Chain A
Amino acid sequence: MVIRAINKMFTNDTGNDERTQSIFGKIHGLPCDGETTARAMYEIKRSILRKLAGRLGKHNFSRRASVLHYLPESLNSKPKTETPCANQTIGDKNLCSPDSVLSPQNGGSSFLPMTQRQVRAPVPAQHHHP
């Protein structure tokens, strides 16, 4: 799976530059090519992979599928910016209410995209018996 490949890259990230630096350091203590740049790019790559893993749903296949479902269908279509669950309700809960959208403010991940936010798994409605 793509997600598995991305997660592997994220978790066991090749870190080839760092590894090479370490080997070089052990051998001669000499610098290698553009160490600073390589480290900076390595950090950027990690950041992108982390975000991608978040986007695809690191641990949840259905969430990943739902995100992919709302990506552009064709190369000519624009990405949808509206919340994917527009007008969907479960019980008395509107899935599009701000409360149901994960964000850093309400405990969600800051890695989630700004415009294609994922929806928190619906909480079963509580029934109050008179």
Chain B
Amino acid sequence: MNETNELIPTRQSLLSRLKDWNDEESWRDFFETYWKLIYHTSIKAGLTDAEAQDVVQETILSVCKSMRTFEYDGRHGSFKGWLLHLTQWRICDQLRRRQKAIKAAGSRETSTGTDTVEKIPDPAGQPLEAAWNEEWEKNILEVAIERVKRKVNPHHYQVFDLYVLQKWPVSRITRALNMGAGKIYLIKHRIGGLIKKEIAHLQTKPI
């Protein structure tokens, strides 16, 4: 994400809504929007599936805990940066926990001859921020597609999926779905437009 986007005060309104624990819809939005981002970043940082799941839990709980007293100030950084820091700390906690467990087990030499402790990725040495930025972009696209998918006719979404995402040729789709090429182009245009709008919304406006 570029510098300009980084400075956009993302989801300020969502953050204010999250202060209210009774606002179930906002919490659901928050979880649905960010869990994959946190999970994939943790995996990229070298955590296992179980550890990454723990990071998601811990990060969400940290957000819950700090939300009521959290005061958003866009001048001090974006929500994206704040969430990155929370995630980063939880990843470090997991790595520390893993290291302790290995030390407790005696740090025995493995069959490859490498000390197990040495195999643990060093969080400081990992380009975590780069991974986070990459995942952030992917996540926005995925969330946008997911939201549009829920809104549109499943049949139409399938046409879009086959044509745009799975890159089937139009002739194959017309045969498989018994549908004219014109309709396929129209659906692609309409759903593509909705996804673009959703992406713009996710980047600039609260949920």
Q: Which residues of A contact B (CB under 8 A)?
A: 1-2, 4-6, 8-9, 14, 16, 20, 23-24, 27-28, 30, 32-33, 41, 44-45, 47-49, 51-52, 55-56, 68, 71-75, 78-79, 113-115
Contact = CB atoms under 8 A, between A and B. Distances in A.
A51 B59 CA distance: 13
A24 B24 CA distance: 30
Given A2-B21, A20-B154, A27-B158, A44 B65 contact: no
A2 B66 contact: no
Interface of B: 21-22, 24-25, 27-28, 31-32, 35-36, 39, 49, 53-54, 56-58, 60-62, 64-66, 82, 85-86, 89, 93, 97, 146, 149-150, 154-155, 157-158, 161-162, 165-166, 176-177
B62 A44 contact: no
B61 to A, nearest CB: 6
Contacts of A75: 62, 66, 82, 85-86
A8 B27 CA distance: 11
10 contacts: A6-B31, A20-B149, A27-B154, A28-B177, A32-B161, A68-B64, A71-B61, A74-B66, A75-B82, A78-B93
Contacts of A20: 149, 154, 157
A30 B162 contact: yes
Nearest to B150: A16
A8 B22 CA distance: 13
Given A33-B166, A48-B57, A52-B60, A72 B65 contact: yes
Given A30-B162, A44-B53, A52-B60, 20 more contacts: A2-B21, A2-B27, A2-B64, A5-B24, A8-B28, A14-B32, A16-B146, A16-B150, A20-B157, A30-B176, A44-B39, A48-B53, A55-B57, A71-B61, A72-B62, A74-B66, A75-B66, A75-B82, A75-B85, A113-B54
